Amino acid sequence: MMTARKLIKMARKWPKESSKSGGNERMPNKGHFVVYTIDKNRFVIPIRYLNTDTFRELLRMSEDEFGLPTDGPITLLCDSSLMNDLINMVEQGLSK
């Protein structure tokens, strides 16, 4: 199971690995982490979202499908339109 601590550790490591390979992705602000959707869109997510069952389940499904990334980004099993809907639900307090 992916814990918040493990996710934070991976999220901190990814920008360093990306810069080694010539990537130019901007490092997220403190208190945020970066995920990608299956259609390769980048989302900067507040860490507080890890308190929601929705995001924990997405991360668990991603871990089951892709394993834990050690040298690349976290990819969630949803597309960008679903991710936008989930973010709106969390912001409105509809997701627990």
Domain that holds residue 51: 4-91
Per-residue pLDDT of 11-47, as tens digits, reads 666 555 444 444 445 677 788 989 999 999 999 999 9
C-alpha 90/C-alpha 76 separation (Å) is 16
Looking at 21-79, list the stretches that DSSP marks H as alpha helix, in order from N- to C-terminal side. Answer: 53-66
| Residue 6 identity | K
Residue of higher predicted confidence among 17 and 69: 69
* Domain-located, residue 45: yes
| Residue 70 identity | T
* Domain-located, residue 63: yes
* Domain-located, residue 96: no
pLDDT of the residue at 10: 66
4: three-class secondary structure by DSSP: helix
Per-residue pLDDT of 83-96, as tens digits, reads 999 999 998 887 66
Question: How, if at all, do strands 32-37 and 42-46 pair?
Answer: antiparallel
The structural domain count of the chain equals 1
